[in-house]
Structure 1
Amino acid sequence: MKTSLLFIICLTLSLGVYAQNEVGKSVTVTINTIKNDTGKVILGLHTTDTFMKTKALQTQIIEIKDGKIEATFSNIIPGEYAILALHDENNNKKMDFSPNGMPKEDYGLSNNPMSFGPPQFNEAKFKVSTEAITLNIIF
């Protein structure tokens, strides 16, 4: 009886782990163009509902080494997303601006759009479906 119960528990747990792995995919982000190792890079994974409006669905704060970082967002359900990245040189966890409103710290977006004005979700969006994704963001 104990053996049967233990087998059922183990089977249930293993199925739960398998199902969890199938729930979402991963998105790996690399940035190889960071001008120095001062501060950290803050990455935010957004949907159209959160982009430039509210807190990211997932956030990562990564230490810079040799002008590079790599971060992986896990368990992403299929859909459209965008990533905002900020080189937070002074570690205050926010974008700093000059008096004329221009950013003082480097930033980047998924798809590396070259636009003037605020970032736009449609320019930065990418689709998560059945495969893991690797993105390279340029500052």
Structure 2
Amino acid sequence: MKNLILAFALTLSTLFSFSQDEGITITVTIDNVKNDTGKVLMSLHTSETFMKGKGIIDAESEIKDGKVIITFENVTAGEYAILALHDENSNQRMDFRENGMPLESFGTSNNVMAFGPPQYDDAKFKVEDKDLELNIRF
């Protein structure tokens, strides 16, 4: 009987330890998209991938009433930044004017808007041991 109870307790503790290894969920809301045309593209980046192409996790969402919610799941602890783009013409990239200024709205985690391209140090945040909810403004 002791062996049965011990085996049951060991099984339960193993199940709980696996459920804790699933990673963190980051839920990002953008509620000021200027229209519902196109999609919002969003990428989770490390310092190595920021402004250099695809993120470590990329996602996209339809826009409804100027709002999108995108969730990044199973994110491991570490330091990250998020880039978001309102891809109005659905061409999967940011479009620019002849003078280099963006034609489409964009934003970053921490909502720092400066002249010039976004900087990782301005947009970075830490993922530790609990789920996060972020709001990005365009």
Q: For this structure pair, what is the TM-score category when the shorter chain's length is used for normalisation?
A: 0.7 to 0.9
Partner of 1:30: 29
Distance (whole Å) between structure 2 residues aligned to residue 65 and residue 57 of structure 1: 26
Amino acid at match of 1:61: E
Q: Kindly provide the CA deviation profile for residues 72-110 of structure 1, in whole angstroms up to 9, marking residues without a partner as x.
A: 100000000000000000000000000000000000000
Change (3 A) 1:18 1:37: farther
CA contact under 8 A between 1:21 and 1:75: conserved in structure 2?
A: no
How high is the TM-score relative to the length of structure 1? 0.86
Q: State the Cα RMSD in Å.
A: 2.0
Partner of 2:3: none
Amino acid at match of 1:80: E
CA contact under 8 A between 1:42 and 1:87: conserved in structure 2?
A: yes
Partner of 1:115: 114
Q: How does 1:12-23 map to 2 (within 5 A)?
A: 15=15, 19=18, 21-23=20-22
Distance (whole Å) between structure 1 residues aligned to residue 115 and residue 38 of structure 2: 26
Deviation, structure 1 residue 111: 0.2
Structure 2: runs of 5 or more not aligned: 1-10
Identity of aligned residues (%): 56
Amino acid at match of 2:120: F
Q: How does 1:99-138 map to 2 (within 5 A)?
A: 99-138=98-137
Amino acid at match of 2:33: I
Amino acid at match of 1:118: P
Structure 1: runs of 5 or more not aligned: 1-10
How high is the TM-score relative to the length of structure 2? 0.87
Partner of 2:48: 49
Task: Work out the number of aligned pairs and report it.
Answer: 129
Distance (whole Å) between structure 2 residues aligned to residue 96 and residue 114 of structure 1: 18
Partner of 2:91: 92
Change (3 A) 1:93 1:20: farther
Which stretches of structure 1, 4 residues or longer, exceed 3 Å deviation after superposition?
none
